[in-house]
Structure 1
Amino acid sequence: MADHQPVLSVEKLTTSFRSGGEWRSVIRDISFTVDAGETVAIVGESGSGKSVTALSAMRLLPAGKARTQGRAILEGQDLLALPEKQMRAVRGGRIGMIFQEPMTSLNPVFTIGNQLAEALVLHRDMSWAQAEAEALRMMERVRIPAARSRLGEYPHKFSGGMRQRVMIAMALACRPRLLIADEPTTALDVTIQAEILHLIRELQREETMAVLFITHDMGVVAEVADRTVVMLRGDMVETGETAAIFAAPQKPYTKALLAAIPRLGTMGETPFPRRFPSVDPATGAVEEGRETRAPQAEARPILEVENLRKRFDVRGGRIHAVEDVSFSIQPGETLSLVGESGCGKSTTGRSILRLLEPSGGTVRIEGQDLATAGRKGLRDMRRAAQMIFQDPFASLNPRLTVGAAIAEPILSHGLMGRAAARERAVELIEQVGLPASVAGRYPHEFSGGQRQRISIARALALEPRLIVADEAVSALDGSVKAQVANLLLDLQERMGLAYLFISHDMAVVERISHRVAVMYLGEIVEIGPRRSVFDTPRHPYTRRLIEAVPLPDPARRGSLPPALSEELKSPMRPLDYAPPQRRYEEVAPGHFVQMAAA
């Protein structure tokens, strides 16, 4: 608990950016304190000013383009008045910062161990040998498997979740007085998120560290924050004790934020997906989302996957990324594939669409075996099955207007002439809830949620029957996530689309799925109707995934499962490894669980 000594005191912080020859304020009169041992959360949607507030206090905004007024006092020193040389000593030493995108924060030409050790030598006055030993200890503490052997690897060899753990190790290694965590768990799986929250809390207790936690995940806020600051378009709209804000939010925007949270266990008796509640941000009025209809009962599934395998040969062995995976999806049905980073979810989706060549097994789309399909067969398959990628910005060509990007697949398949394709692109833009006027704009001119809608419009251009959605809503703010998920459900109901929904967000999965398949180390360990899997999970890994979802209720704080002690397992095997034959038991109608190996 806090000992009520402010470590950071922000007073009337106002930051402006130069635009078109004039200064425009992006945050205005922000004031709050963070006490020793206390966690204060700043919440709000993208563009609310959360990150700018932290970057202003750290003086990390570009000189000449940004102007900051007010005060940011760290243990008696006004950071905004310090000379730059002293400020450099504060950053990484007395203040640690975890950024949202770790790849942009790590130097690609230095090894992970080198970067960790350098910070320790610089800020904790250690010898290089001491720093390397401490770097190893911190990597083990943030649960990086085979930490000793990975000290000498470069950032590009780490997954996104692993890179985020490295950033957390780096920020905590120097035992800062204040930790600023900017969306540190947004891209992480629920079990890893739970581990990281445990770790930050543990180190906070040991060091009486103050934590400023920037997030849009209200479940995380309920779990970690003592006090909460709510921001909207650069202004503070509400602040107070976290429990009080959750129990009785005063402002319509805060009510809207809380209503948009997907909550586990709110689906009732329905076996079908249910839309997310819609909220009026002006009044805070909530309209409960209605239930969708049953999927079409057709004799032939749109997708049939049998014994799918994908293996990668690497130095020292072979990675069994996908091993003996089988399932089918009916028209109008959503099957969600869930599990942690590295479990094989995305590799499964890419192998199904032949973006990766499978190592074995059979994939049939509308009865057509893709392994025997020639060039024309694959081209037809691209019309029947499309993919929505996790990062819409990376999957859209920055040189094409969004109208041209949506029309491109129509033209490449020769379905329409240029004029008709342009008209069809405008129709699709309107179909995903955007105005027709945006067709002439470029991807960088849109928010993340808008870009994801454009990616959905492009996926619909060829009128597919199956869509593989790979973490399509994972990085979106709560209300935007709800809007995009509702859009996917509306399109499914209207067009009879089948979805393979790949996600680690268990609360969203519960809301929009008909059936759920749980993956662990490349294998499906449990599959069945959504209600059966969530209400009576039978595999220990499924239970842990569900338990690890933070509950958006401060009264139930501490409900996350205890931190794991064993090292994370790896899917890498010796070249001569022969996978065991797996057995599945049907524990309820359509609900199958992998049996433990004998």
Structure 2
Amino acid sequence: MADPVLSVRDLTASFRTEGRWREVLHGVSFDVGPRETVALVGESGSGKSVSAMAILRLLPRDSCRVGGSVRFDGRELLSASDAEMRRVRGDSVAMIFQEPMTSLNPVLTIGFQIAEALIQHRGLSRSAAEAEALRLLDKVRIPAARTRLHEYPHRFSGGMRQRVMIAMALACRPKLLIADEPTTALDVTIQAQILDLIKSLQDDEGMSVLFITHDMGVVAEIADRTVVVYRGRAVEAGPTARIFDAPAEPYTRALLAAVPRLGAMAGRSRPLRFPVVDRDTGAEGAMPETPDTVRAAERPVLEVRDLTTRFDIRSGLFGRVTGRIHAVERVSFSVAAGETLALVGESGCGKSTTGRSILRLIEPLSGSVLLDGEDVMALDPKALRVRRQRMQMIFQDPFASLDPRMSVGAAVAEPLLINRLATRREARQRAEDLLAKVGLSPETANRFPHEFSGGQRQRICIARALALKPRLIVADEAVSALDVSVKAQVVNLMLDLQADMGLAYLMISHDMAVVERMSHRVAVMYLGEIVEIGPRAAVFGDPQHPYTRKLLAAVPVPDPARRRDRHGLADDEIRSPIRAPDHVAPERHYREVSPGHVVQLWGADWAGPAARDVAA
């Protein structure tokens, strides 16, 4: 058997906090063989990223101690000099970080940044380095690479920025690539492209990969072996197929039970809670059937008709309008009490703009939004403020939407005080009751946002959204950045609250597996338009539009036996929604393919006397 490229033995890491050393890694050991992909999996805080940073000695020396052994290609890295480590980093070992925008210098072109690594490690001239940078951009399949070589990072989408990071990592042809959550925040189609790209480049370059993630679907897609990390310890390791088929540790079983599996809802008409598995014992708790909450007989809580939102693009000395972003184009749908309508699609398709336009956080150009029969678009600012009590929003990043200087109890109570619906004492009591309702102790009201985990912060945001007893909640990617087990807890909480309070949810998401688990109906958006809408079972079981099929085909399957070598997805970005100032959007027609299941017509296949046009 060939010697491992990377051998980690009894790796420990301790951080100095409040004058004491606190150990966070407790003797982690694993190997990565030649051309092998090893996945390091676990929840946030388990020690995955700290392990990677310790391997490359990127942790601060003054506040961190690292022990054990890290041997790369036979060399001990923990005792290597700083000069030796600089030669190793970016040359023999490369790393892709989770957030490419914070890893790229915003004031330097991407071509300059890739060339910098080539000049530093391979001694190339500036012109030779730029030529090689262009070759690398072509290799990671960036469209029109020659024209984009001298563009800045902000001109690229998230998926394309991640491709740039991969190009930088591969510049010096490393023997080992460490990828730290490289696909966590990406849409399913872009995620599938990045996974295919890493696998293809691995085959071409013969490198080994250490892939750090909490997404078990991604693990099943890409990893040869898996190491499960829990509370700073490697609790289980082995071939990926064995880990999925017969997990030995309770924590591994809990992780796998929390993974949403596309197709698991076949034959079910209502949303379904995730099973709750004890992490320490592996025991699975009772999973009560989600009650039927939809009140279809009543008038819908939300009725959206022909909603259109555009943004002017101005340039020149006098700010002349040179183009318009058609972010939302004639979108129509309704949401009943107790119902969840999921709005799905890639980043840039108009999902979030639709949600913000409904609440008039962004002013739409035209259309109507009826909340309990009242047109929100016709309200003056004072009346709108009152009506917003009945419609609330949960944002994607809970930390960014909470004031770091305000205790969570004050944050939850604030809507009641601003709207003069309670005294300070009553608001405080109501805040504690709401925190208890979302599974947090009332005593936590005095703590601040930084003292909570990501999942707990999202629970706080849900409690704040419930403070005014709304009829409608717009949940904008409310669980996309959470670990699988925390995601399952928050989804279960939202389903329980819907059953108790009859809430109508407009759920904005690109996570198709969670959407299938949680929604009653699904609307698929592309370039600001709804291209397919219908009952969840119909859209997932019999997708009609090519774009819907593309989204579903890109979802990683958490089953190594069904691993696909290639997704066969196109590498292009979502088309631009920018149009000329005088552009007139074409009239769209729809066909009802089954009761409530409506698809936008496209191509010649849908033309003919049998087609029946219906409103979306």
Corresponding residue for 2:517?
Answer: 511
Task: Pick which of 274-283 and 480-489 moved more.
Answer: 274-283
> Quick check: 1:590 aligned with 2:596?
yes
2:259 aligned residue = 261
Instruction: Tell me what 1:296 maps to.
Output: 295
Which residue is 1:391 aligned to?
Answer: 397
Give the conservation status (yes or no) of the 8 Å contact 1:275–1:489.
yes
Alpha-carbon distance, 1:243 to partner: 0.6
Which structure 2 residues correspond to residues 449-468 of structure 1 after superposition, within 5 A? 449-468=455-474
Decide which of 480, 485, 489 is 1:483's aligned counterpart: 489
Whether contact under 8 Å (2:277, 2:283) holds in the other structure is yes
Tell me whether 104-113 or 402-411 shows the greater mean CA deviation.
Answer: 104-113
Encode CA deviations 1:454-510: one digit per residue, 9 max, x unaligned.
Answer: 111111111111111011000111110000000000000100100110111100000
Which deviates more from structure 2 when the two are superposed, residues 315-324 or residues 458-467?
315-324
| TM-score with structure 2 setting the length | 0.93
What is the DSSP-based 3-state SS (H/G/I as helix, E as strand, rest coil) of the residue aligned with 1:336? strand
1:181 aligns with 2:179: yes
CA contact 2:523–2:533 (8 Å) conserved in 1: yes
| 1:536-580 deviation digits (Å, cap 9, x = unpaired) | 000111111111111111111117621425564222222222221
Shift of 1:377: 2.0
More divergent stretch after superposition (553-562 vs 324-333):
553-562
One-letter code of the match for 2:350?
G
Tell me if structure 2 keeps the 8 A contact 1:392–1:452: yes
Kept in 2: contact 1:278–1:289 (CA 8 A): no
User: Partner residue of 1:310?
Assistant: 309
Separation in 2 of the partners of 1:457 and 1:160? 31
Ranges in structure 1 where 5+ consecutive residues have no aligned partner = none
Structure 1 Cα separation of the partners of residues 461 and 140 of structure 2: 34
Distance in 1 (alpha carbons) for counterparts of 2:134 and 2:574: 16
- Describe the shift of the 1:357–1:161 C-alpha distance in structure 2 as closer, same or farther (beyond 3 A): farther
Contact 1:370 1:377 in 2 (8 A): no
Q: State the partner residue of 1:473.
A: 479
User: Residues of 2 paired with 1:278 and 1:25: CA distance?
Assistant: 29
Q: Where does 1:490-569 land on structure 2 (aligned, <5 Å)?
A: 490-558=496-564, 561-564=567-570, 568-569=574-575
Q: How far apart, in 2, do the equivalents of 1:300 and 1:142 lie?
A: 51
In 2: Cα distance, 1:32 partner to 1:595 partner: 53
Q: Deviations over 1:163-186 (max 9, x none)?
A: 333322322233221111111111
Q: Distance in 1 between matches of 2:405 and 2:62?
A: 29
Distance, in Å, in 2 between the alignment partners of 1:351 and 1:243 is 46
Q: Which segment drifts farther, 8-17 or 283-292? A: 283-292
Q: 1:60 to 1:569 in 2, by over 3 A?
A: same
Deviation at 1:271, TM superposition (A): 1.3
Indicate conservation of the 8 Å contact 2:94/2:169, yes or no: yes
Give the distance between the partners of 1:344 and 1:148, measured in 2 at CA. 29
1:170 aligns with 2:168: yes
**Cα offsets for 1:414-441 (capped at 9, x unmatched):** 1111111111111111110011111111
CA distance, structure 2, for counterparts of residue 116 and residue 195 of structure 1: 21
Change beyond 3 A, Cα 1:422–1:292: same
| Structure 2 CA distance for aligned equivalents of residues 269 and 294 of structure 1 | 18
56-65 or 104-113, larger mean C-alpha shift: 104-113
Secondary structure of residue in 2 paired with 1:33: strand
Secondary structure in 2 matching 1:464: coil
The structure-2 alpha-carbon separation of the partners of 1:149 and 1:306, relative to structure 1 and needing over 3 Å to count, comes to farther
Mean alpha-carbon deviation: is it higher for 458-467 or for 84-93?
A: 84-93
Paired residues of 2:189 and 2:569 also in contact (CA < 8 A)? no
Cα gap change, 1:245 to 1:461, in 2 (>3 Å): same
Partner of 2:86: 88
Query: In 1, Cα distance between the equivalents of 2:581 and 2:145?
Result: 23
Give the Cα–Cα distance (whole angstroms) in 2 for the partners of residues 153 and 320 of structure 1. 24
Of 213-222 and 260-269, more deviation after overlay is shown by 260-269
Q: 63, 66, 69: which is aligned to 2:67?
A: 69
Partner residue of 1:376 out of 361, 377, 382:
382
User: How much has 1:110 moved relative to structure 2?
Assistant: 2.0
The correspondence of residues 188-267 of structure 1 with structure 2, limited to 5 A, is 188-267=186-265
RMSD: 1.7
1:434 to 2:440 alignment: yes
CA contact (8 A) 1:277 1:289 kept: no
Letter in 2 for 1:432: V
SS at match of 1:123: helix
SS at match of 1:27: strand
The structure 1 residue matched to 2:417, chosen from 401, 411, 417, is 411
Secondary structure of 2:14's partner? Answer: strand
Q: Aligned partners of 1:149, 1:298: CA distance in 2, in Å?
A: 56
Counterpart selection for 2:357 from 338, 351, 355: 351
Conserved? CA contact 2:346–2:574, under 8 Å: no
Q: Tell me if structure 2 keeps the 8 A contact 1:298–1:331.
A: no
Q: Is the 8 A contact 2:480 2:509 kept in 1?
A: yes
Any conservation in 2 of the 1:95–1:179 contact (CA below 8 Å)?
A: yes
**1:453/1:141 Cα in 2 relative to 1: closer, same or farther (>3 Å)?**
farther
CA distance in 2 between partners of 1:138 and 1:430 (Å): 53
Q: Residues of 1 paired with 2:579 and 2:142: CA distance?
A: 18
Once the 2 structures are TM-superposed, how far is the Cα of residue 345 of structure 1 from its aligned partner?
0.8
SS in structure 2 at match of 1:55? helix
CA displacement at 1:291 relative to structure 2: 2.9
Q: Distance in 1 between matches of 2:423 and 2:147?
A: 56
Provide the rounded CA distance (Å) in 1 between the counterparts of 2:140 and 2:365. 33
Query: Structure 1 counterpart of 2:162, which letter?
Result: Q
Residue 369 of structure 1: how far off its partner (Å): 1.6
1:215: Cα distance to partner?
0.5
Normalising by structure 1, report the TM-score: 0.96
SS state at 1:570 partner: coil
In structure 2, what is the Cα distance between the partners aligned to 1:150 and 1:372? 44
User: Structure 2: which amino acid aligns with 1:382?
Assistant: R
In structure 1, distance between residues paired with 2:565 and 2:591: 30
CA distance in 1, matches of 2:356, 2:147: 29
Shift of 1:194: 0.6
Identity across matched positions, percent? 65
Equivalent pairs counted in the alignment come to 596
Q: Which moved more, 1:442-451 or 1:551-560?
A: 551-560
- How do residues 36-185 of structure 1 correspond to structure 2 at under 5 angstroms? 36-144=34-142, 147-185=145-183
Paired residue secondary structure (1:392): coil
1:582, 1:597 within 8 Å by CA — same for their partners in 2? no
Task: Provide, for residues 239-287 of structure 1, a one-character-per-residue CA deviation record: whole Å limited to 9, x for no partner.
Answer: 1111111111111111111111100111132211111111122221224
Letter in 1 for 2:40: I
Mind listing any 5+ residue stretches in structure 2 that lack a counterpart? 316-321, 605-616
C-alpha contact 1:396 1:405 (8 A) present in aligned 2: yes
Distance 1:161 1:565 in 2: 10
**CA deviation string 1:97-116 (max 9, x = no partner):** 11112232222322333222
Contact 2:394 2:476 in 1 (8 A): yes
